Structure 1
Amino acid sequence: MLAAAIYQEAPDEPAPAAARPVSGNKPGGLSPDRPHGGALMMLFGLLGAAAAWVLQTEIGETLAAQACFPHRTALAAPQWPWLMSSLGVMSAVALLIGAAGVWVAWRGWRMTRAPRPDPAAPVSDTSAGRTRFLAMAGFMLSVLFLVGLIATGLAVLLVSPCSVWR
């Protein structure tokens, strides 16, 4: 309480040197010259590739099931001529979204991997470690789901949607 009373200043006086932030560092240990991606970018890096894979798999399987097995009867070829091209386009879009998720997660991990510690940060401030952990987890998950997107895209190209393998 005494320290707060000592460092209170009048509106027209500049702040004393001890009350100013050291080199502009924000709490959390990250220096101000590093851009912050934000929570939405971190969420996209964490779940973007996974969501793309789930949507690619679910939409593709649903379309293939409706085109190849109408009324529970197997057809030799899909009843819709546009099915293969739409599955290919959907796989390419999902692959691009997954690659964007990997890039965002990698960029977030790179930005948080070697922060300059803030000497005035409280000991209980764990936001920098949490950010690093989420960025690394997002990078690993995105890479794994990108491999899944590639495998699913290859399956779309190599296996007919009306084959018995689906």
Structure 2
Amino acid sequence: MKALTIGILAAPLAWTAQELVSYGFVSRLCGDTNAAAVQHFAGASPMFLLISAITLVIALAGTWLGWNNWRRVRDVRRESNLEPREIHAERTRFMARVGLICNVVALCAFAFTISTLFVAPLCPA
């Protein structure tokens, strides 16, 4: 059950952490210093790259775990008269599928977020 829960939450929580930490860092950086003196793009800052790299590794590990969970339980037999043990297997299969979907969606959001580090200006002019 732990592996299924981690498989569902790892990538979305890593993406959320990356967003929140980066937002806080940018707010402090742009508020404390002259915006013109700050680098134009967050991708030029090693701090942003480090935050993104750490959280991306966590998200990829969660996606790998979600994929392994789904592969492990995808061949559960389906029947119309489900016994309690089979209901548990169906729930496990459902959770593994949800984990895989959540992680893939979070990785797509991650890709979009990381691309903005190199395209959007760090501080508004």
- TM-score where L is the length of structure 2: 0.83
Q: Distance in 2 between matches of 1:77 and 1:41?
A: 46
- Say yes or no: does 1:57 pair with 2:19: yes
1:147-166 matches, cutoff 5 A: 147-163=108-124
Q: Distance in 1 between matches of 2:71 and 2:64?
A: 10
Letter in 2 for 1:54: T
1:1-150 matches, cutoff 5 A: 39-70=1-32, 75-78=35-38, 84-115=45-76, 123-125=83-85, 126-150=87-111
More helix by share: 2
Task: Give the match's secondary structure for 2:84.
Answer: coil
Q: Distance in 2 between matches of 1:77 and 1:87?
A: 17
Q: Distance in 1 between matches of 2:3 and 2:37?
A: 42
**Where does structure 1 differ by over 3 angstroms across 4 or more consecutive aligned residues?**
none
Q: Who wins on radius of gyration, i.e. which is larger? A: 1
Task: Give the match's secondary structure for 1:94.
Answer: helix
Query: What residue ranges of structure 1 are gaps of 5+ in the alignment?
Result: 1-38
Higher relative contact order (Cα pairs below 8 Å, separated by 6+ residues): 2
Letter in 2 for 1:146: L
- TM-score where L is the length of structure 1: 0.64
Q: Distance in 2 between matches of 1:89 and 1:155?
A: 15
Between the two proteins, the alignment pairs up a number of residues equal to 117
CA contact (8 A) 1:60 1:87 kept: yes
Q: Cα deviations across residues 123-160 of structure 1 (Å, max 9, x unaligned)?
A: 23311000000000000000000111111111113323
